[in-house]
């Protein structure tokens, strides 16, 4: 319903002493109500842009581990992303570097490149590929996964992989930040790997292959820079455990970790 406008409509309540009976010149209107600018032009003129892209590089784990086997190694679990509020390019990587014995070099290392798309309030869908590195024939996978924040603040990733050789795999990761103080944070972490087929070259059996459960205590000197100590429990299952034992290894391992959580 439109109410007829009269001059009197604006001239009411002069008692306030601040009545906006505003004369607007036609030239003023013409200047401001010209052709509608595109969002891009507008954003440039306003110097304000809610589509601006941002990025982050996070080494969630960058640590040195020492375990029962006496074999020291460096491990990492890192991610980087860049993009807008809906679509981002993600890079994920994890692996270990062994510096002693005949195993010297990269082990169980991989890099994933993913397109990440917001699909709901708390979840992103991630599509891309993963390249493995390390001893033996390196595998290449197609990745399909979800990443997000599960109820009760669990940061969660679940990814399915398929390779051109017909291999399949799955990886599940979850972690949680428990604040002891505003800067002292206890972070439980779990990662499980599952495989559709055994892969003797890589000491992998089919089914649930390995589970890592760890807990890290970090101190955030800055949000971006937090040294930590941690305990890592590794357990291999089924065919994987058999293959590892056959090669002289242990099915489970308890390791101490010292590291840095850094991001920028």
Partner 1 sequence: MYRSRFNFSRRRFVQGLAGGSLVLGGGLGWGATAGPAFGPAALGGGSAGRASAGISRGAGDETLTGGERGSILRGTDFELAVGAREVNFTGASRTATVVNGQLPAPLLYWRQGDTVTLRVTNRLPAPTSIHWHGMILPANMDGVPGISFGGIPPGETFAYRFPVTQSGTYWYHSHSRFQEQVGLYGPIVIEARDGERYHADREHVVLLSDWTDTNPEHIYRMLKVQSDYFNYGKRTLADFFADVRKQGFARTVADRRMWGQMRMNDTDLLDVSGHTYTYLMNGVTPAANWTGLFRRGERVRLRIINGSSMSFFDVRIPGLKMIVVAADGQDVEPVTVDEFRIGAAEVYDIIVEPKDDRAYTIFAQSMDRSGYARGTLAPAAGMEAEIPRLDPRPVLTMMDMGMGGMDHHGGGSASHDMAGMDMSSMDMDHMKMGDTQAAPSSSNFGPNVDSVAAQPTTNLADPGPGLRNNGRRVLTYADLRTLGGPIDSREPGREIRLHLTGHMQRFVWSFDGKKFSESRPLQFNYGERLRIVLVNDSMMTHPIHLHGMWSEIESPEGEFLVRKHTIVVQPGQQLSYGVTANALGKWAFHCHLLYHMEAGMFREVVVEQGRQSGGQS
- Please identify which residue in 70, 166, 223, 248 interacts with partner 1, judged by CB under 8 A: 223
Report which of 205, 178, 202 is spatially closest to residue 189, judged by C-alpha positions: 178
Encoded tokens for 141: 């996978």
Q: Please say which residue, 184 or 256, places its beta carbon nearer to partner 1.
A: 184
- Please identify which residue in 46, 102, 247, 248 interacts with partner 1, judged by CB under 8 A: 46
Per-residue contact string for residues 7-26; x = within reach of partner 1 by CB under 8 A: --xx-xxxxxxxxxxxxxx-
- Please identify which residue in 69, 100, 136, 149 interacts with partner 1, judged by CB under 8 A: 149
Q: Tally the C-alpha atoms within 13 A of residue 151's C-alpha that lie toward its C-beta.
A: 0
CA angle 154, 179, 80 (to 5 degrees): 55
Q: Which stretch binds partner 1 (CB under 8 A): 44-52, 90-98, 101-109, 227-235?
A: 44-52
- Please identify which residue in 45, 70, 102, 164 interacts with partner 1, judged by CB under 8 A: 45
DSSP string, 46-58: HT--TT--EEEEE
Residue environment code for 202-225, b if the CB has 16+ CB neighbours within 10 A, otherwise e: bbbbbebbbbbebbbbbebeeeee
Q: Give how far Cα 121 sits from Cα of 21, 152, 160, Å.
A: 45, 14, 22
Q: What's the N-to-C CA distance of the chain in angstroms?
A: 55
Q: Please say which residue, 43 or 113, places its beta carbon nearer to partner 1.
A: 43
Q: Please say which residue, 39 or 100, places its beta carbon nearer to partner 1.
A: 39
- Please identify which residue in 142, 180, 246, 254 interacts with partner 1, judged by CB under 8 A: 180
Q: Min. distance of Cβ 15 from partner 1 in angstroms?
A: 4
Question: What is the Cα–Cα distance from 93 to 108, expressed in whole angstroms?
Answer: 10
Number of Cβ atoms within 10 Å of the Cβ of 83: 16
Q: Which stretch binds partner 1 (CB under 8 A): 60-68, 138-146, 151-159, 241-249?
A: 151-159
Residue 29 lies near partner 1 (rule: CB under 8 A): yes
Element (H, E) at 179: strand 178-179
Residues 64 to 123: which contact partner 1 by CB under 8 A?
Answer: 85-86, 118-122
Residue 256 lies near partner 1 (rule: CB under 8 A): no
Residues in the interface with partner 1 (CB under 8 A) total 61
**HEC per residue, 145-163:** EEEEEECCCEEEEEEEEEE
Residue 48 lies near partner 1 (rule: CB under 8 A): yes
- Please identify which residue in 102, 181, 247, 248 interacts with partner 1, judged by CB under 8 A: 181
Cβ neighbours of residue 35 closer than 8 Å, sequence gap 6 or more: none
Q: Min. distance of Cβ 213 from partner 1 in angstroms?
A: 20
Question: Where do contacts with partner 1 occur on this chain (CB under 8 A)?
Answer: 1-3, 5, 9-10, 12-25, 27-29, 31-33, 36-37, 39, 41-43, 45-51, 54-56, 85-86, 118-122, 149, 151-153, 178-183, 223, 263
């Amino acid at each position: 319903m439109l109410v007829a406008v009269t001059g009197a409509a604006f001239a009411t309540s002069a008692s306030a002493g601040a009545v906006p009976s505003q004369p607007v010149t036609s030239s003023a209107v013409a200047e401001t109500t010209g052709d509608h600018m595109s969002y891009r032009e507008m954003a440039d003129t306003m110097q304000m842009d809610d589509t601006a892209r941002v990025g982050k590089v996070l080494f969630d784990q960058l640590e040195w581990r020492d375990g029962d086997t006496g074999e020291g190694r460096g491990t990492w679990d890192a991610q980087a992303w860049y993009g807008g509020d809906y679509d981002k390019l993600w890079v994920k990587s994890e692996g270990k570097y062994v510096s002693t014995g005949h195993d010297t070099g990269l082990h169980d290392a991989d890099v994933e490149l993913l397109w990440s798309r917001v699909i709901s309030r708390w979840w992103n869908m991630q599509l891309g590929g993963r390249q493995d590195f390390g001893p033996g024939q390196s595998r290449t996978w197609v990745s399909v996964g979800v990443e997000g924040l599960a109820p009760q603040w669990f940061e969660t990733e679940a990814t399915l992989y398929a390779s051109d050789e017909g291999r399949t795999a799955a990886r599940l990761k979850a972690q949680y930040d428990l604040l002891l103080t505003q800067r002292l944070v206890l972070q439980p972490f779990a990662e499980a790997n599952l495989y559709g087929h055994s892969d003797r070259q890589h000491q992998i059996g089919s089914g649930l292959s390995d589970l890592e459960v760890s807990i890290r205590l970090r101190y955030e000197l800055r949000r971006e820079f937090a040294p930590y100590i941690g305990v890592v429990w590794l357990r291999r299952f089924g065919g994987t455990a058999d293959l590892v034992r056959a090669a002289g290894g242990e099915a489970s391992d308890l390791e101490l970790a010292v590291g840095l959580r850094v991001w920028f």
